Amino acid sequence: MKKFIEGSYAMAEAAKLCRPGVIAAYPITPQTHIVENLSQFIADGELDAKSVNVESEHSAASCVLGAQAAGARSFTCSSSQGLILMSEVLFCIAGMRLPVMLVCANRALSAPINIWNDHQDSIAVRDAGWIQLYAENNQEAVDLIIASHKIAEDPKVMLPAMVCVDGFILTHGMEVVDMPDQKDVDNFLPAYDPPYKLDVDNPMSFGLLGTPDVYQETRYAIQKTLEDVLGMIPEVGKEFGDKFGRDSLRLVEEYKTTDAETILVAMGSVCGTIKDVVDREREKGNKVGLLKIVSYRPFPKEVVKSALKSAKHVGIIDKDISLGSDGALYSEIKSLLPSDQKVSGFIAGLGGRDIKLNSVENIIKMAREEENSCKFVDLNKDILWDKFKTI
Amino acid sequence: MFSILAAKPKSSARNKTGSWRSTKMPRLLKKECINCGLCKFVCPEGCISGSEKNQYSVDSEYCKGCGLCAYICPKKDIEMIENKPEKSNSSEEAEKDKGVGK
Amino acid sequence: MKEIKIFARAGQGAITTAAILGEALFYEDKFSYAFPHFGAARMGAPMNAFLRFDQNPIRLRSQIYNPDYIIVIDPTLIEAEQCFDNLKDNSKAVVAVRENTNINNKQNTAISSLPAEKIAMDIIGRPFANTVLLGAFSKATGEVKLDSILKSVEVRFKSKPAILDKNIEAVKKGYESV
């Protein structure tokens, strides 16, 4: 049913539709409304789940790890400092092959302290072995939460999934969202039933010591599985689409790229703004397109390569930076493309810096001119100094 | 694809660590035993068993020869003797109780 | 696509105003994206809420810099927040005013002003001007029907029956005051 609702409410409802058994999270802006709503659902008797109050995000992640190991579908969410405080446990969750669901309300990392949106937090934990999907709008956020459970819990996969949603822009934005019916979700997503679990009647040890003669195989197994997930995303995406009428779960979205001379690449909500710019440019006769990355982990190398192969200029927008190197998306894509193709990397929207229509227009212009690997957009040079000076 | 993820209880028992023992090993004299159970209680490897006077035994497949049992015995009914090298594990035993999820 | 910028102080219901408006437009099969000024607001601090709406889903995620419409909930912000700067051509403003309110209308914006706080005091008993202004917005701009606003207010306040009827009356009074 279509509703006009706040993003956080929609995401909480999507989590509820998946019937989680255990929810543990620690409040942090801008994620808070999501768990707040879930707690309300439990208090109102609308959701039969155990909500565990924890003292930190490290504990929240540990709690859902244990709950999932005990056979309960488990949900958590976090942002920024919270997510990186979880990071130790995030690696354990993936290593133990527990399909926990996490919603990351993307927010910048300290210091300076900043509560606004960029992608640095989820990018910082990209190597943990989680499936990472980025939503453009709240409809996609809802759909990805539901659809990614199906992949994560597949007996061939058993890996955790992180749905990344832009903090404030999506979490605090109200818009029309088509909420799926419970019975359709029940039909799509069977109960979580792992082949074995933490069970006093059948005791087992989880999270073992992995000596040098076994550890490397555990990483190989995750890598191979994530490669398989690349094939499953379109399949499950189609199944989801047949049932719910939307193709939100996909590896990438190609927006007017077929004949495009300039293609921008980005993730998350900024893709909506870029689409508006693409349409304006097209009206002016400029052949511009957008390649939206939905699945960042696993990264669909071949799909990206083929989508960009005939573009004269590629402009990659990162809301993150590997300080001392380049934007994460840029590094990844640059390495896929031939060295004579003009590929530029742009850093934009850090710490909530608004990405305006003309920011995107400038990016297109710059991508067509000289090649840059790491060009900061909308920089205010008035607040930059060459020397560490007295204030 | 998966690799080793979990293990059933006692799966590490296949590692017969008695082979690590260096110079000494206990010998239970079985003469003065009063069934106090202290030797069993202090054994860091849990490899002493028994519940009746003079009926205790040491599992040399795990005993490291630390000597705590001999030290604690109120009747001095355990003595430390020269270590005898054990035969290596049979491959059949090593196959038992492997980790699940392989 | 039309853009609305709402000026208020934190606690005066700017987000609620945007939410009610977005919901009302939803009843008329329009898509909207309502969002607060992102950040940590303290009660009484000047803040904004925004709303974009269109026949098609809203994709643009940037903040609103050149609104088609402004709604000013707190008259003391008109000067301090330069509410009348950077409006689009042919823009309209729905403004709560007091007796001494002075508007420097630089861009000849069409202004519908009304003593919304006084109306709210008379009807609700508290100076919450936002629902009054929603009624006025409906009449002044014709972008959304009065009935849609009323239905949306009803949904919004259904769990608070004590203030529901008063707010319905406030919306109607606002509509009539333009």
CB-neighbour burial class of residue A273 (10 A; exposed 0-12, middle 13-18, buried 19+)? buried
Contacts of B13 in chain A (CB under 8 A): none
Per CATH, which fold does A2-244 belong to?
Rossmann fold (3.40.50)
The per-residue pLDDT for range B9-48, each reduced to its tens digit, is 888 888 899 989 988 999 999 999 999 999 999 999 999 9
Contact state of C39 with A116 under an 8 Å Cβ cutoff: yes
B2 within some domain:
no
Residue B93, pLDDT > 50, answer no
Of B18, B19, B48, B26, nearest to B36 by C-alpha is: B48
C57 interfaces chain A, CB cutoff of 8 Å: yes
Check if the beta carbon of residue C8 is closer than 8 Å to that of residue C36.
Answer: no
Structural domain includes residue B63? yes
Residues 6+ apart with CB under 8 A from A363: A264, A315, A317, A346, A348, A377
Q: Residue A314: is its pLDDT beyond 80?
A: yes
Q: What pLDDT shows up at residue A390?
A: 85
pLDDT at B13: 86
- DSSP, res A382: G
B6 → closest Cβ in A204, A214, A224: A204
Structure confidence by residue, pLDDT tens digits, A69-115: 999 999 999 999 999 999 999 999 999 999 999 999 999 999 999 99
Structure tokens at C101: 């309110």
Question: What kind of architecture, by CATH, is found in domain A252-381?
Answer: 3-Layer(aba) Sandwich (3.40)
> Hey, where are the domains in chain A?
2-244, 252-381
pLDDT in tens, A349-385: 999 999 999 999 999 999 999 999 999 999 999 999 9
Residue with tokens 């082979």: B19
**A128: pLDDT strictly greater than 50:** yes
Cα-based torsion angle of the residue sequence C1, C5, C10, C14 in order, rounded to the nearest 10 degrees: -50
Does residue B45 belong to any structural domain of this protein? yes
Residue C138 pLDDT greater than 60, yes or no = yes
What pLDDT is attached to residue B86?
A: 54
Chain A contact present for C157, CB below 8 A? no
| Arithmetic mean of pLDDT, A276-297 | 98
Domain extent at residue B55: 30-83
- Residue B8 falls within a domain, yes or no? no
Q: Does A385 touch chain C (CB under 8 A)?
A: no
Beta bridge mates, C112: C94
B15 within domain boundaries: no
pLDDT of res. B97: 38
Measured between CB atoms, does B15 come within 8 Å of chain A? no
Q: Are strands A262-266 and A74-78 parallel, antiparallel or unpaired?
A: unpaired
The answer to the question of residue B43 being in a domain is yes
Is B25 a domain residue?
A: no
Provide the 10 A C-beta neighbour count for residue B95: 9
C24 to chain A: closest CA residue: A4
A252-381 has the same fold as A2-244: yes
C76-100 per-position pLDDT tens digit: 999 989 999 999 999 999 999 999 9
> Which residues partner with A59 through β-bridges?
none
B99 pLDDT band, cuts 50/70/90, is very low
What is chain B's length? 102
Cα A66 to Cα A52: distance, rounded to the nearest angstrom:
12
Q: What CATH code is carried by the domain that includes residue B50?
A: 3.30.70.20
3-state secondary structure of A76: strand
Secondary-structure class of domain C2-176 per CATH: alpha beta
Asked if the C-beta of A217 comes within 8 angstroms of chain B's C-beta atoms, the answer is yes
Residue A94 phi, psi (nearest 5): -70, -45
Q: How many domains does chain B have?
A: 1
